[in-house]
Structure 1
Amino acid sequence: MATTFNMLPEDCVSTIISLTSPPDACRIMHASASLRSAAESENVWSRFLPSDLPRILTRSHTQLQFSSRKNLYFQLCDSILIDEGIRSFSLNKVSGKKCCILSARALTISLSNEPNHWTWTTNSTSRFQEVIELKTISNIEIEGRINTEDLSPNTTYGAYLIIKVSDHAFGLDSIPSEISVSKGECSATNTAYLCPLDEKKKHFGSLFFTNRTQMMEKRVVHGEGRRPSKREDGWMEVELGEFFVGENSEDVKMNLMEVKGHQLKGGLIIEGIELRPTN
């Protein structure tokens, strides 16, 4: 392949490489010294960057210093803060698709400014300046919104609530919360718990609160009862649902609602909601 490419002008080779993917360009770069220059060219990596890059950079809250488009691409893969630091933007390293995290400050959380119910605090493992921790409340309502112009077209996205559960948490696994993702007239609803499954606690609860739990669960829509899963960054995530981004700009709404069961709960820490390609 290298011999064939060497017979072509470098700008022609770079155009061909730009029609592949970032991993392919990196493999070509390391596979052939003669093709390195073409694979590292501005032409190649400009094609891998979002078409609305100038708009993204004007929203950046992170100081960026880059010597090339390739360097900028990998900086964006590591994520930057945008919109005065309440959102995180990044690129998927493999596909170059856009990813976004709405921080807790970018969400609508019922009674979030009531100090008796919630407290805004810092967390050393969070990418954001603030996270929010639940002190005590009987009904949780969380909503996030994003316009699809901030995401990549012709792509299926998943929405994930990023959380932690403190050591003194209580009431988070009594009944599942209702979750939904809506775009236009399309809406998908499910259920999820805000705590990992604890078999010992589940057994204890079944001995003393079975009837009460069953009564509360009748108020919840039918769903899978999803559980949080661990993330590489040390947090946990709950999948809220999926949606497809087409060519047109549309608003997407993501919700989590714990129905009124008069069950006090506390100890939930929320970092935000992540939107990322499912593939």
Structure 2
Amino acid sequence: MLDQHDCGIWLVRPDSEALALVLQQRLGGAIYRPWLIKDEQPVAQKQQFAEAYRRHPQWIVIAASGIAVRFLDGLPQDKHSDPAVVVLDEAGRFAVSLLAGHEGGANRLAYRVANVTGAMPIVTTATEALKPLVVGIGCRKGASVEQITAAVKLALSERQLNEVREMATIDLKADEPGLLAFCEQNDLPLRVLASSAVAARPWVTKASDWVQQIVGLPGVCEPCALIANPRGKLIVPKTALNGVAVAVVEDMGWHV
């Protein structure tokens, strides 16, 4: 949970109020409503943002990316000290890590925003973009970090954890301590998908009666990995170990 000093949530228009309140409720932060100042025009709002820019180490700007870029004009100085900036469109579809992705934590903030809103996290830093693997995971309640580590390593086989771009699971498993600890220990973002989204795309090599009974889905790890990496190929179907199920999808890349 971020406090008001950690993160600023900048609304360009009052239409974003409901979205901002959801973010504040789940993530914390201070909401800025620049239109409440009388007679302010867009140029003046840009000046307001410039004055507030250094108040927080992280920003969520709910606006078009073009607006955010214009607001930032002349403000960034150094990647080691600039605040992180994530841009979220007003429909809550895309959470873009725009500035200070690594050093400022914008990449991770983009995932946190995406997990709250159902948006797609957009990370363009080369370190993440060049990692080809997405690991889908499902687990029994209370699975330990050791159990999760063993299952992931089994599924990866000779592939390495440093090839993994993100972990993906359903909302019912978003707060599993073992899974969160695994992601923290291995510096991996966790992509959380709505169960309804997974239900709409039930790609599984073999449905599980147990998973269907417990969570109402034919499978978790395979569809999560495929949804998170839509141009990928399932290279490791569901592999289960000690109550943890893992699937691996490899991004096939862009080709002419």
For normalisation by structure 2, the TM-score amounts to 0.30
RCO higher in structure (CA 8 A, sep ≥6)? 1
Q: Which has the higher strand share?
A: 1
Structure richer in helix, relative to its length: 2
TM-score, normalised with respect to structure 1: 0.29
Larger Rg: 1
